Every structure is written in C-alpha cells, then in structure tokens.
Chains A and B, each alone.
Chain A
Amino acid sequence: DAGITQSPRYKITETGRQVTLMCHQTWSHSYMFWYRQDLGHGLRLIYYSAAADITDKGEVPDGYVVSRSKTENFPLTLESATRSQTSVYFCASSSDRVQPQHFGDGTRLSIL
C-alpha cells in the first residue's frame, strides 16, 4: 500500500552525537517536508524540498541538515544533537504545493 514511512519510530541518543531520521514516500510526490512538534508550539517547519536536489529552509532550520538525492527519500540529519532537539519529528509529502500534505507517523527523538 502506498504511503509515507518514517524510521526509526523511536530513538534515544546523547548530546553531540549525529543522528539521521529517515523518510520514504511511495507516491512520487514532488514536495517533501520536515516538521518538529513540541508541546505548546504545534508543528514547525524545519526544511522542505520542492524536488530532488532542491531544498530550502523553513522556520527552524538551525542544527539540521537535509538532502534529497532521490525523489522518494528525504533524510533529516542532526549533525551534533542537543537537548533542545528532543521532539517528535514528522515528515510529510504533497504532489504539489497547492495540495494538502500527507504525514508520516513520526519519530520520537530523545536526546540525553
């Protein structure tokens, strides 16, 4: 069944470590997004991509790196994790920027 999957679902790591969150979609959607969700802040956009090899910053990009070498994958990397990056991370995709986004089930990341 087509969809958007995130891995891992849960991750615990230590400050200073590098961690990569994976996102894969089977719809061949052009647009992909990364959000973080924190209590009291709703969803905040970290990075987005309009197509393979095209990425752009969102509202809270500091401390994160993304790449999009293939249309279906959009990994998010925390190069040196900090406690403030403890959050639930959601990946989303859409066929066009005027279409609603479809979300994965999230990765719950804890940084000790």
Chain B
Amino acid sequence: GESVGLHLPTLSVQEGDNSIINCAYSNSASDYFIWYKQESGKGPQFIIDIRSNMDKRQGQRVTVLLNKTVKHLSLQIAATQPGDSAVYFCAESRNFNKFYFGSGTKLNVKP
C-alpha cells in the first residue's frame, strides 16, 4: 500500500502558541491530501484539504502547506487552544480513489 507517515507521534504545545504537525508521503503521484482531527471516542473530523496544484491553503486558524519536491505535508494551527487537543491524521490519494491514512500525531495543549 501507500506509505503515509508522521515525523512526530506526540506534540506538546503551550496554549496560545502555534502548532505544526508534519506528514511525509511516499507516492509522488498523490494529488489530493486531507487533514483530519480525531478526538477520543469519536470519528475523524475533516479539517482542511489541498490538491497537488496548490502549495498552500488557509482555513480558520489552520494552514496546510504542501511541498511536492520533498513529498511533505504540514498542518499549522495558529493560537492553539485546549480544544485543539486531539490526534491529527493526514491522508492522501491518487486520482481521488482510495485514501491512505498516516498513523496519527497526538497534540497535547498545555494550559
């Protein structure tokens, strides 16, 4: 299968700081990427997506950066809040077919 992984399994940040969660992918043909947030006992929740013809996309307090040269994806969360504490997954697909998910990064926000 495809290989989608995360550099840091756990990230701890102070409330109010910015968070950066990283993801590496192995298939250079991947053309669509999604970030999901998963809280304990719940299903993944869509945060933001990006297509391979873009290198940056912004949402509310979140920014996704795509570097196709090094096959790297990152999620930036501005002014991190306690409610941001969760596990974050990246997922990638090629031609919008099957999605492959990374194993996740746990974000701990310290008050």
Contacts and interface: CB of A to CB of B under 8 A. Distances in A.
Interface of A: 35, 40-45, 48, 58-59, 90, 92, 97-98, 100-106
Interface residues of B, number: 23
Contacts of B98: 45, 48, 58-59
A106 B49 contact: no
Contacts of B103: 40-42
Contact of B102 (A42, A104, A105): A42
Contacts, number: 46
B67 interface: no
A102 B46 contact: yes
Nearest to A33: B99
A36 to B, nearest CB: 11
Contacts of A58: 98
Given A42-B103, A42-B104, A105 B43 contact: yes
28 contacts: A35-B101, A40-B103, A42-B4, A42-B89, A42-B101, A42-B102, A42-B104, A43-B89, A43-B101, A44-B101, A45-B98, A45-B99, A48-B98, A59-B98, A90-B43, A92-B43, A97-B96, A97-B97, A98-B32, A100-B34, A100-B46, A100-B49, A101-B46, A102-B46, A103-B44, A103-B45, A105-B41, A105-B43
